[in-house]
Structure 1
Amino acid sequence: MTTAPSKAPDKAAAAADRPHDDDERPGVRGQVVAVIGLLDRPLTSYYLVLGCSVLLLTLGLTMVLSASSVKQLQATGSAFTLLQKQAMWVGIGLPLMWLAARLAPKAFRALAYPLLLLSVLALVLVLVPGLGQTAGGATRWLRFGGGFQLQPSEPAKLGLVLWAADLLARKEKLRQLNEWRQLLMPLLPGTGLVVLLVMLGNDLGTTLVLLTIFLAVLWVVGAPARLFVGITGLIGVLVAILIVVEPYRMRRLTGFLDPTGDPLKDNYQGLQGLFAVASGGWFGTGLGEGRAKWQYLPHSETDFIFAIIGEELGLVGTLVVLGLFGLLAYAGLRIARRVKDPFMRLAAAGVTAWVVVQAIVNIGAVIGVLPITGIPLPLVSYGGSALIPTLIALGMLLSFAKREPGARQALAARGPGPVRRALSWLGLARR
């Protein structure tokens, strides 16, 4: 009696030839571990801040040219007028950023009080009739000769960050943060003075950013939950009062709640911004090929430059911008978490809150999820008053990132940078 040959060995061999899930998982797991390891390197924060800043600056220069070319060609005969001015501000800001990245924390602490005092003085001058310039319903500019003008509320953000961080770091060192009075005095009156001066100029957007910095340092320093919630509630009431007492802000709020109402006046800018973003589709109309800048969208190179990005670069372009700001937020919070010095921790958190919240408010206004406040998109929108303090603040983050655990050793192991190598090749520096 013969038996049929068994097929079990063939099945076993075939099963052995097929890749198992267990064989595949180590590869995927290894890739995940590699990515996590890359993010956990000592200089990760440094390179993220530097890379995101440079990419956003480059995108900003490109989009300022695209957004302003038509209007400037008609007004001045050259499409490059605002690009040249913005490039000049970048040329001033980048060396200041490089210098800030090389300063020690004690240098920033020394600058805290003078910078805040000068900012307060400039904010007072803005309110003097004949000196302050009004635009868009807000009095926030000091105009000098030769077309040069300054918005003092922008350096005031940096001054408030440094002053608040230095003040709370000193109190923490002296163990004076156990009571709410010690926590809020004189932080609350000092912040209130700066906020009051900005509010008197009807600049609600900058007021919100200043209050965000105040809340950020309170959170990081470890304010009690009840105190933090109470102050947040008071700020909400204050903002509501500011909106109600000013007719144009109330019109913006009602326009935000009813976007289709009054499309040719109060809602015109918001609707045109939404049309620009929506018309971009996935990949946009092409760089320089947008239609909104042809006298359809007001302030397309400043407050609504994100709409031009959405129109010309599409959803992909907007997601890149969001990703860059997301990475910048991650890097800033990573620095605040890893540094040991209380001043660096508080200052890093304050700068991160300032830049990221300002970006969220600007983008939210363009896409219609937040009311229009008139604040620029950091590093991207046109304007030197906002750009230079932001670059200095990011340079300070770079300085702090070099003081994370293991960062100094990693920098030393990296060897001389390209500038020093080039100088050594030319015989201008020691090898």
Structure 2
Amino acid sequence: MAATETGPVRTPGSGRAALSRFLRRPLASYYLILGSAGLLLLLGLVMVFSSTTYMSTTQFGHPAYYFTRQLVWVLVALPIAWLITRMPIRVLRAMALLLVIVAIGLLALTYIPGLGVVRGGSRNWLDFGGPFLLQPSEAAKLALIVWVAHVFANKGALVRQWRQLLIPVAPVSLIIIGLTIGQGDMGTSVVMVLILLSMLWVLGVPTWLFGLAVGGVSVLGVYFIFSTGYRTQRVLGFLDPFADYANTGYQAANSIFAFANGGWWGTGLGASTQKWGTLPERHTDFIFAILGEELGLPGSLMVIVLFLAFGYAGLRIAMRTKDTFVRLAAAGITGWFMVQTVINLGMVLAVFPVVGVPLPLVSYGGASIVATVAAVGVLLALAKQEPGAKEALAAQRERRLRRREAAA
């Protein structure tokens, strides 16, 4: 950085050098996760308010009803994530079996009449009589990741034997995914399967076994798609949303209209026309369409860049550790966020079929927010295991303590 009478002048390559210095810091991954997730969460609150003002006013008489509920869930989730970041990894691992048992139990409860609630064609909600509904499948993703990472870490070198790879991970995973498929929630089931495949890839399973798993999943996926008429229509409808505009193509077509209306620079925050009732699920699965309409290409690219930064940091954590649990858990959570983001963006852009998958940290939904924010907390805890991270955090605490003593 050179200086002149008018101020500092940025020399060529200084930005790249600053980025390089930042990435060499032990806490780079920690701050990338914290910064990107925090900005996505904040942007999500803004877009939930913007996309639901009309709906909130017409249904409940004031424009901030859905925003207030989302804010409450964020305020519930943040202390949970903070506690997780302070939790030793051994405690998290000790809870792994309990988490997966509770997840299976909650998924099973959705099949009990009176408790299980159908929303959007899927019986994946629990109603315990309060103002909020619980969606167990969201928490089940995190529970499955932590438990699978724990099991494989305990097996050590035994994972080189294909039988040890399957038992008990395969049957327990099939129970969780099977219960989710039985609810009619194909989107979440697909995400769970892809999470498991990403963890197996990072674990380094034999190529033949990984190929067999991918092939088996593909065959089952094709069967489930074409075994039910409405699923077939829904999946194939994305090929030409306007061919059946009034039925299977309605959501995808109106999502395209939203982006077309926004153009390059967007209509401005709060100025969406699709949020007035034309676009279904505009605050949940299709919130990115409203964001693209109002904030245009700059806003859309900002979201993509934030998710890419999150994904890079998560993979960086997985690559820089020698601890099998940390590597697999970081890869699983990163895979969850990135897979779900790609599916959601592809769905909103009519590149993929409409499968009902929310955009992590951005879409409206209490269960989704709590689960994803808690997952961010786990990833932050894992980031502290990077080489030099604990020492850097201790040095930060020492500096803060000295400043407080000096101020006193």
Q: Shared topology, TM-score over 0.5?
A: yes
The partner residue of 2:354 within 366, 372, 376 is 372
> Residue 137 in 1 paired to residue 134 in 2?
no
* Aligned equivalents of 1:238, 1:305: Cα separation in 2: 30
Tell me the amino acid that sits aligned with residue 322 of structure 2: K
> Residue 221 in 1 paired to residue 203 in 2?
yes
Q: Which residue of 1 aligns with 2:230?
A: 248
Query: Per-residue deviation at 1:424?
Result: 7.1
Tell me the amino acid that sits aligned with residue 128 of structure 2: F
Any idea what the Cα deviations from partners look like across 1:2-39, whole Å, max 9, x if unmatched? xxxxxxxxxxxxxxxxxxxxxxxxx6456534422322
Contact 2:234 2:353 (8 Å CA) reproduced: yes
Query: Per-residue deviation at 1:415?
Result: 3.5
Query: Per-residue deviation at 1:393?
Result: 1.1
Q: Which residue of 1 aligns with 2:61?
A: 77
Partner of 1:141, secondary structure, is strand
The partner residue of 1:272 within 238, 254, 261 is 254
Runs of 5+ consecutive residues of structure 2 not aligned to the other structure: 1-10
TM-score using structure 1 length:
0.89
Q: 5 Å matches for 1:40-119?
A: 40-119=24-103
The partner residue of 1:319 within 296, 301, 320 is 301
Tell me the amino acid that sits aligned with residue 285 of structure 1: T
* Aligned equivalents of 1:214, 1:234: Cα separation in 2: 13
Contact 2:285 2:363 (8 Å CA) reproduced: yes
CA RMSD of aligned residues (A): 1.8
Tell me the amino acid that sits aligned with residue 260 of structure 2: A
Contact 2:241 2:250 (8 Å CA) reproduced: no
Query: Per-residue deviation at 1:146?
Result: 2.5
* Aligned equivalents of 2:145, 2:223: Cα separation in 1: 25
> Residue 121 in 1 paired to residue 89 in 2?
no
Q: 5 Å matches for 1:5-404?
A: 28=12, 31-172=15-156, 175-404=157-386
Change beyond 3 A, Cα 1:227–1:289:
same
Contact 1:141 1:152 (8 Å CA) reproduced: yes
Contact 1:89 1:387 (8 Å CA) reproduced: yes
Change beyond 3 A, Cα 1:423–1:81:
farther
Contact 1:339 1:400 (8 Å CA) reproduced: no
Rg comparison, structure with higher value: 1
> Which has the higher mean CA deviation after the structures are superposed, 30-39 or 313-322?
30-39
Regions of 4+ moved over 6 Å? 420-426
Query: Per-residue deviation at 1:41?
Result: 1.5
* Percent identical residues: 45
Partner of 1:260, secondary structure, is helix
Query: Per-residue deviation at 1:275?
Result: 0.7
Query: Per-residue deviation at 1:422?
Result: 9.9
Contact 2:268 2:295 (8 Å CA) reproduced: yes
Tell me the amino acid that sits aligned with residue 133 of structure 2: Q
Contact 1:278 1:310 (8 Å CA) reproduced: no
* Aligned equivalents of 2:12, 2:403: Cα separation in 1: 41
Query: Per-residue deviation at 1:97?
Result: 0.9
Query: Per-residue deviation at 1:423?
Result: 8.3
